[in-house]
Structures are given as structure tokens and as C-alpha cells.
Amino acid sequence: MNSAPRSVASYLKWPLITTAVGIFLSGWLGWATTGTVGGTMSFLMVGIVLASLEIALSFDNAIVNANKLIEMTPVWRQRFLTWGILIAVFGMRIVFPLAIVAIFAWINPFEAMRLALADPDEYSHIIESAHGSIAAFGGTFLMMVALKFFVDEDKSIDWIVGLESRLRKCGSVRGFEIALVLGIMLTICWFLPGPFQSTFLFSAIMGLLVFTLVDGLGTFLDYKAGQMAQLGAKGGLGAFLYLEVLDASFSFDGVIGAFALTTNILLIAIGLGVGAMYVRSMTIMLVEKGTLREFRYLEHGAFYSIFALSLVMFLQSLTHVPEILTGCLGVAFIGYAFFASIRHNQRHSDPETGTESHG
């Protein structure tokens, strides 16, 4: 027997519970840190802004995750939605900033944790000094993710037809997307001061290398898993690893941007963790309700948003780009794609049944 379809409100249950817990913890942390009502309210506001920032920056992440989860086996899909969210919240929001400080300051992780709690200003300074390297790595990885979607001969649906049809034809040119990314990398590097060029290039090339390895490993693992199961099913360990690295790349911008609001690592973890729960629920809803099939251009908007984010991350090596601008770009692309999908459905619907005609 099929279970009744879930309402949209049911997907908000755990995010709302997490929000309540997050508000309580933010207030408690503010009181424990400052001992004043004003300080407590300040911590509460920063926590809410951090959660909002994470949600705004992660619309495209949820859509791409949902697209990949549709292809995954039910077992690995559930593993990603349970283990993956733990890795995303605790790994990227707590362990990742500590790892950056440990690497760049040449100290052990425990000393990095002590520094984060005892001297947050110095901790924030170290994080900020690593921003250029992180932006180069994440920008390259995300640009390859976006181009892999558009530079694909097998892609059957175009939204911005003139551009996407040309990119699709370029799929027959082996290594086209790598050459394009390398060209953009060298262009950005040209405008950087001499001492920063080698660091930028090394980080960007590492991003390209990691994408190539993860993408190749994912394809190999999924192929072997399909052979062993004799099902030809895609989306096992390889897809899981791909999504984890992808989520990490998306998280770079939010984590770095959070330090512009506060240097308290615990408050950052609370705020971004609350936002991550909304992204998880959004991902589940997109998969279970088949939203990507109903709104045919939504995925395109997400990948345009990813490409824009990758360019912003590259530009951050040259100048500061406000995080609110990054979030607005993502929302704008996805919002426009959503309305374009609605217009398409209205133009191609059966006037008698109201259902979309595929003929």
C-alpha cells in the first residue's frame, strides 16, 4: 500500500525544531559569553542572519543534490540524508575551519580549537588569510560542476537555447570544459599581484584535480557497484563521495562569509547548522515530490547559479564581493528559472485536462 503524500508543512518539522534549538543555544551562548541582555540579543540576531545566509546561498546546492539523489539507490540516498547532513554540519561548519587554521598556522587541531575559543580575532585573521586559496579551489571545482552539465552532448533540454545548444555541441570536443576553466584561471591570475599568483594557481589546479579524481572515481565505483548487483543501478558510493565534495565546495563561501559577522566558531556552527537543516529538507521535498520533473528549467537555473558563484569566488581573489550579492544571484537565477518553467507548462498544457502535453 502506498503511503499518503506528505504535505509541504511536514518537510518543515525538523528544520523548525532545529530553529528553536538553535535560537535557544544562540541566546544561551550570548548570555554565557557577554552576561548582558544586549549581548544575548546580538548573538540571537547574528544566529538568525547566519541561518538565512546559509539558506540563500544553498538553493542551488539543494537542487543539484536532489538531481543526483534521484539517480541514487534508496540505501545510499538515505545514507547521504543521514550521514551526509552530519558531515555537512559538523565537518564543514566546525572541523573545516579548524583544519584551515591548523594548516596555515602550523598548529595541531586542539590548539586551533583553543585559539578559536580563547582568541577569536586571531582565529578569524588566519581564516581570512586563507580566503584566496579556498576561493580558488572552490571556484574551480564549482565551475567544472556547472560546465559538466552544459557541455554535454546527451543533454536534451535547453533553456537559453542559443547559448546552451552551442555549449552542448562543444561536448564533442574532448577536454573543452577543462581548457575553458584553465583560460579563466589564467585570466584571473594575470590581474593578481605577483606574490599571490603561484598560490592562486596551485589552489585552482588542486580544485581541478580533485574534481577530475572525484568525478572519475564516482563513475568507476558506480559502474562496479552496478556490475556486482547486476542491476546497472547508478548512485552508490561514488555518487555519495561526489555529493560530499560538492557540498564542501558550496560551504566554502558560507563559512568564510560567516566570519564577517562573528568570530565565535560555536555561533557560526549553530547558525549555519540551522540553515543546513532547511537545505536538507528542501532537498528531500524536491526528490519526493518530483519537482525537478515538473519544473523543467529549475535545474538549469541552479547550474547557472553555480557558474555565477564560481566566478564570484574567483573574483574574491581580486576584491571583496558581499555575501548578500552572492545569495541574491542564486535566488535570481533559480527564481527566473522557476517562472520560466511555469510559463512553459502553461504553453504546453492540454487545455482539456490541464496536464502537460509531451507530444
What whole-number distance in Å separates Cα of residue 320 and Cα of residue 268?
20
Q: What percent of the chain has pLDDT over 90?
A: 8
Confidence of residue 323 (pLDDT cuts 50, 70, 90): low
Mean of the per-residue pLDDT values of the chain? 79
Confidence of residue 352 (pLDDT cuts 50, 70, 90): very low
- For residue 68, the model assigns a pLDDT of 78
- For residue 185, the model assigns a pLDDT of 92
Asked if residue 301 has pLDDT above 80, the reply is yes
What whole-number distance in Å separates Cα of residue 315 and Cα of residue 83?
33
Asked if residue 117 has pLDDT above 90, the reply is no
Q: Which of 99, 327, 137 is CA-nearest to residue 249?
A: 137
What whole-number distance in Å separates Cα of residue 63 and Cα of residue 291?
9
What whole-number distance in Å separates Cα of residue 338 and Cα of residue 286?
13
Q: Convert the pLDDT of each residue in 244-283 to its tens digit.
A: 777 776 666 667 667 666 777 788 888 888 877 887 888 8
State whether residue 191 is helix, strand or coil: coil
pTM for this entry: 0.74
Query: 146 to each of 85, 276, 288, 320, how far by Cα in Å?
Result: 23, 22, 24, 23
- For residue 232, the model assigns a pLDDT of 39
Beta bridge partners of 349: 356
- For residue 187, the model assigns a pLDDT of 92
What whole-number distance in Å separates Cα of residue 61 and Cα of residue 278?
12
Q: Convert the pLDDT of each residue in 79-89 to its tens digit.
A: 887 887 777 66
Secondary structure of the chain: what % helix, strand, coil (to 5)? 80, 0, 20
Tell me how crowded residue 32 is: count the other CB atoms within 10 A of its CB.
12
Q: Convert the pLDDT of each residue in 138-197 to its tens digit.
A: 889 889 988 988 998 888 888 988 899 899 888 888 889 999 999 999 999 998 888 888
